[in-house]
A and B are shown apart, each in its own frame.
Chain A
Amino acid sequence: MTLYSTPDTDAVVAAENRPKALHRNRKGRGIGLAIGAGLLLIGLVVPYVVNDNFTMSLLVTSSLMSLMALGIGFLARYLGLFSLGHGAFYGCAAYAVAIATTNWGWGPLPAVIFGTVFGALVALIIGVLVVRASGFGFLMLTLALSQALYQMSNQTVMRPLTGAHDGKLITYTGNATFFGLSMSDMMDPGLFWPVAWVALVVTGVILWLFGRSRFGTTLEGIRENEERMRFSGFNTFRPRLAAFVLTGAAASLGGALFALNVGYISPDILSFGKAGDSLVAALIGGLGTLVGPVLGTFLFVYAQANFNFGGNIHLLTGVLLIVVLVFAPGGITGALTKPYRYWRAKLTQRGKGAEK
Chain B
Amino acid sequence: MEQLLNGVALGALLMVLSSGLAMIYGLRGVANFAHGALYMLGAYLAYTVTERIGFGLALLVVPIALALVGVVLELVFFRPLQHRSHIELGLVTFGLAMMGERLVTLIWGEGTLRVLPPEFLQGTTSILGSDYPTYRLAIIVIALVMAAVLVLLLRFTTIGLHIRSASQDIETAAIMGIDANRVSLIVVSVGSALAGLAGTLAAPYISLNPGMGDVFLITSLIVVVVGGVGSIAGAMVAGMGVGIIQTIGAVYLPSFAVLLPYVLLVVVLLWRPQGLAGRKV
Contacts and interface: CB of A to CB of B under 8 A. Distances in A.
Do any beta carbons of A and B sit within 8 angstroms of each other in the complex?
yes
Interface of A: 1-5, 7-12, 82, 129, 135-137, 139-141, 143-145, 147-148, 151-152, 155-157, 272-273, 276, 280, 283, 311-312, 314-315, 317-322, 325-326, 329
B262 A145 contact: yes
A129 B269 contact: yes
- Chain A contact residues, majority secondary structure: helix
A143 B98 contact: no
Nearest to B210: A311
B77 to A, nearest CB: 8
23 contacts: A1-B29, A2-B229, A2-B273, A2-B279, A7-B87, A8-B86, A9-B85, A12-B87, A136-B30, A136-B31, A139-B87, A141-B265, A148-B263, A151-B259, A157-B255, A280-B95, A311-B110, A312-B102, A317-B95, A318-B96, A319-B95, A320-B95, A325-B88
Nearest to A145: B262
Given A280-B98, A321-B98, A329-B88, A3 B262 contact: no
Contacts of B279: 1-2
Contacts, number: 135
Contacts of B280: 2
A2 B102 CA distance: 32
A207 to B, nearest CB: 22
Contacts of A280: 94-95, 98
Which 9 residue pairs spanning A and B have beta carbons closest together?
Answer: A318-B99, A318-B98, A321-B95, A148-B262, A8-B85, A315-B102, A322-B95, A314-B98, A2-B274
A314 B88 contact: no
Interface of B: 29-31, 81, 84-88, 90-92, 94-103, 105-106, 110, 214, 218, 221-222, 225, 229-230, 255, 258-259, 262-263, 265-266, 269-270, 273-275, 278-281
A79 to B, nearest CB: 12
B98 A152 contact: no
B188 to A, nearest CB: 17
Contacts of B222: 144
A145 B92 contact: no
A322 B92 CA distance: 5
Of A9, A136, A272, A312, which is in contact with the most chain B CB atoms at under 10 Å from its CB? A136
A119 B85 CA distance: 31
Given A5-B281, A11-B84, A314 B99 contact: yes
A145 B98 contact: no
A3 B101 contact: no
Nearest to B80: A326
Given A3-B274, A147-B262, A12 B88 contact: yes
A141 B221 CA distance: 10
A12 B281 CA distance: 26
Of A129, A148, A319, which is in contact with the most chain B CB atoms at under 10 Å from its CB? A148
A122 B61 CA distance: 47
Given A136-B30, A314-B99, 8 more contacts: A1-B29, A4-B274, A129-B270, A148-B263, A314-B102, A318-B99, A321-B91, A321-B98
Nearest to B93: A322
B265 A144 contact: yes
B269 A141 contact: yes
Nearest to B270: A129
B230 to A, nearest CB: 6
Nearest to B215: A147
A314 B274 CA distance: 34
Contacts of A322: 92, 95-96, 99
Of A11, A129, A147, A152, which is in contact with the most chain B CB atoms at under 10 Å from its CB? A147
A156 B91 contact: no
B110 to A, nearest CB: 8
